[in-house]
Amino acid sequence: MSQHPDTQTTDTTDTTDTTDTTDTTDTTDTTEDSSKRLRIVNTFMKRRTHMNKKAELALTSPEFTQYIVNNSSGDGDLQGITDLRALFDDTANGPNAPLTLEIGFGLGDSLIEMAIADPARNFVGVEVHEPGIGKCAYMAGTQGLSNIKIINGDAIKLLQQLPENHLDRIQLFFPDPWQKKRHHKRRFVSPERMAIVTRSLKPGGWFHTATDWEHYAFWMLKVLDLMPNLKNQAGTGNFAVRPDFRPMTKFERRGIERGHGVWDLIYIKQ
């Protein structure tokens, strides 16, 4: 789960990982054609982070390779990853099960929890921080999951090479809000990026995002309400009620205890 660095907390009961999991996608900002790369604007700052032993084991041991689709270190090579459903050809669910893509899953705790709670659904997480990739793969392996795959790389680049109408859900939880006005261009939710996101969703598919930054919440509401082929599940101008299937993290719970608000937005492709 992407969590901005000034509020992120890490579960220290089983790891000392302190990964900065800002919105973990190196994205393309476009003005004419969203499929063409005109100017690259990063929506994250990739930092050197501590790798705990469990994450390192998952990145190096053959027993976890079934979960990591491509190279788990450095810049993810996305070449040839053009069909996420095909990743599940040899699994119990198969390629035709409902498919959710999470952008920037951070350390993977909530993604794993969702995969456990909904075993008939397939999940793909895309992330760029190696400690998070390793920890997520480790948890998937220890739980014996067969409905999850992990990709290292830029989510926008990945979405651009997927077929249209490919995914049932795309989720983006607690992305970096980039509070300063001069950094707003780095925010993931923009008309240009959302055009790329929407293209990959099936009709009736969901885009689900959540944030604890009020300004960013209303920014996203304005952008998403104006997308021509997305419909606000809660009605134009409204935020969604937090759904039970979205796990509440320690990060989110601590924020609520401190009086912080949390806003969910769910949009359906028409």
- Considering 20, 176, 212, 264, which one is annotated as catalytic? 176
CA 261 – CA 100 distance, rounded (Å): 26
Q: Mind spelling out the 3-state secondary structure of 2-57?
A: CCCCCCCCCCCCCCCCCCCCCCCCEEEECCCCCCCCCEEEECCCCCCCCCCHHHHH
CA 193 – CA 9 distance, rounded (Å): 28
CA 193 – CA 190 distance, rounded (Å): 5
Count of C-beta atoms within a 10 Å radius of residue 42: 14
Count of C-beta atoms within a 10 Å radius of residue 234: 15
Which pair of structure tokens corresponds to residue 250? 């320690």
Closest CA to 189 of 210, 165, 166: 210
Q: Identify whether 11 is a catalytic site residue.
A: no
The answer to whether the beta carbons of residues 12 and 165 sit under 8 Å apart is no
CA 179 – CA 211 distance, rounded (Å): 12
Known catalytic residues are: 176
